[in-house]
Chain A
Amino acid sequence: MAMLEFKQMFAVARKEFHDRLRSRWALTVAAVFTVFALSIAYFGAAQQGAVGFRGIELTIASLVSLAIYLMPLIALILGYDAVVGERERGSLDLLLSLPITRFELLLGKYLGLAGALALATLLGFGLVGIAIGWQGGQYALFHYGGFMLSALLLGMVFLSLALMVSTFARGKSAASGAAIGLWFVFVLIYDLMLLGALVASEGGLPAWLVSLLVLFNPTDIFRLLNIFSLEELKSLYGLATVVPDALTEAWVLGLAMVAWVLAPLAVAYAKFRCTT
């Protein structure tokens, strides 16, 4: 296999990125994030009869719940047709005849889409971050920054999963079906099953197994990353008693997230490489 060349890869990345800017995709998603984040930060407590900024802990707890639903969905929609779309349109053969390796093509696509997602996330949540920093000071800004980065990482994970789906799927509709399936599993079903297992075993599951099971779901990692950085939330969720100590280390969780970005991409490449 040829040596990695960045020029070709960036040409692909640039095109994907520009496409998302031009179609106003990035702007739309940023607007969606802004509206949701603002609503949660300022009107989240409206049911309790209060309107306004409630302190960073509760705001982040609400934002995390929102991001767990929204981020994977947006990332999956962004990436599910990256490869299968080209294949179905008939432009993949032409791309593959060019002096670019399949690795560079796949990574270029990923980087371009990731750039667009990063822009939308940082822009969308960043605007609200300014307001939060102004209201809550440095402490709030620091934790909000942490939330933003972890949300971005969550997006990168699901974008990676989307590309994997895209290399395996036979058609675009199959790819979208698989993407929605992944969303259901990771966002809705997995936690229910895990909770069910914990309750059924009456706390009898060994700690290492629970850790492992939590690490197998990137949305859980994302949740832990945000919750365990905030003392007040730890006790609020009562999770401290259930979750093993290893999973309260931010670097362990961060590494796990990075692994979640790389693993699906590696699988995607392994598949893409041998599709002939």
Chain B
Amino acid sequence: MNTPTVEVTHVSRRFGEVQALDGVDLRVAQGEALGLIGHNGAGKSTLIKLMLGLLHPDRGEIRIAGQSLHGPAYRTLRRQIAYLPENIVFYDNLSGLETLHFFADIKGVARSDCPALLEEVGLAHAARRAVRGYSKGMRQRLGFAQALLGKPTLLFLDEPTTGLDPEGIREFYEILRTLKMRGVTVILSSHNLAQIEDRVDRLALLRQGRLKATGTVKELRAGLNLPLLISLKLRSGGVQPLRDAFAAMTDVQLHLDDGIAEIRCEHRRKMPVLAALGGLVDWVDDVDIHEPSLEDVFLGYAEARDGDA
């Protein structure tokens, strides 16, 4: 990993009775796209607000590019950071373009950059309409345009695709991809695993304020060692040859139900199992291999390890 852009060191934060975050450690490298995953109330937004310096941690420390957001680097750091809050709210009386002008003024960006950004997020046609009449998706796009003002190098996006239609979601990830190519560090939160699975470099799983696991999708799967599921469609008379083939493999579970066989095994046993199946070519119609889904992985980390939490 390169030098971390974001360093979260043993951070805790409490709101009254609720322990929103509890001893979270996280490093995000320059140019990395990190997905914060968790259910509502898991602490994703709180963690983002802490990293942005909007909240202070009760314990622990947060550094951006090696510096505190509350020190002398306050403004320099903020010029490089952009934030798209969940359920973004704008000023209803302003038009989309005026809204961007306002943010451009504060960010010290030329107003002439604004029309191009509206074009990029697909809002050029509504630039002069009051935000009052914008749909939720349009507001989200405007929020994204706001975040892109001034070419930030670190983006915090809290549930960025909320309210977007499938087309909007696709466009959003397209823009995200080009940002990544420019070397922008992106931290985005989502409760939709399937959607961000292929679109981030690494995932951080949060549950009840604790960081349960971090890693690539592959690492998370491997770390949990969830069983692999292989389902077979057998030809008639295939049951006995199948039983025979796996008789010696005691760590492989075999389940038979009306011509359909399900084999469960550890991930590392995948090849021996497939090799054994190779001898059954005449008895098998079809084979499906199911890697554990990200949802399974998430549930696995969230629930199986609550005991040692």
Residues of chain A whose beta carbon lies under 8 Å from any beta carbon of chain B: 1-2, 5, 7-8, 11-12, 14-15, 19, 22-23, 89-91, 93-101, 276
Contact = CB atoms under 8 A, between A and B. Distances in A.
Given A2-B75, A89-B89, A97 B102 contact: no
Given A97-B81, A276-B56, A90 B89 contact: yes
A91 B108 contact: no
B54 A93 contact: yes
B74 A1 contact: yes
A2 B106 contact: no
Contact of A97 (B78, B87, B93): B78
A7 B107 contact: no
A96 B70 CA distance: 12
A91 B89 contact: yes
User: Chain A interface secondary structure, helix, strand, loop or mixed?
Assistant: helix
A95 B53 CA distance: 12
B49 interface: yes
Contact of A23 (B83, B93, B105, B108): B93
A56 to B, nearest CB: 41
Given A2-B74, A5-B75, A94-B83, A99 B89 contact: no
B105 to A, nearest CB: 3
Interface residues of B, number: 29
A8 B109 CA distance: 11
Interface in B29-88: 49, 52-56, 72, 74-75, 78-79, 81-83, 85, 87-88
B78 A7 contact: no
Given A7-B105, A11-B106, A276-B55, A93 B74 contact: no
Interface in B75-120: 75, 78-79, 81-83, 85, 87-91, 93, 102-103, 105-108
B87 A90 contact: yes
Nearest to A7: B108
A2 B67 CA distance: 14
Contacts of A99: 75, 78-79, 106-108
Given A11-B106, A99-B108, A94 B88 contact: yes
Nearest to A88: B89
Contacts of B55: 276
Given A2-B74, A101-B74, A276-B54, A93 B49 contact: yes
B31 to A, nearest CB: 21
Contacts of B103: 98
Contacts of A100: 78, 106
Given A97-B52, A97-B78, A11 B83 contact: no
A40 B241 CA distance: 107
A101 B106 CA distance: 10
Interface string B118-157: 0000000000000000000000000000100000000010
Contacts of A8: 105-106, 108
A8 B91 CA distance: 18
Contacts of A7: 105, 108
Contact of B54 (A5, A12, A96, A101): A96
Contacts of A14: 105
A94 B56 CA distance: 16
A15 B95 CA distance: 13
B56 A91 contact: no
Contact of A11 (B52, B88, B105): B105
A15 B156 CA distance: 25
Nearest to B69: A97
B2 to A, nearest CB: 24
Nearest to B13: A276
Contacts of B78: 97-100
A92 to B, nearest CB: 9
A91 to B, nearest CB: 5
Contacts of A11: 102, 105-106
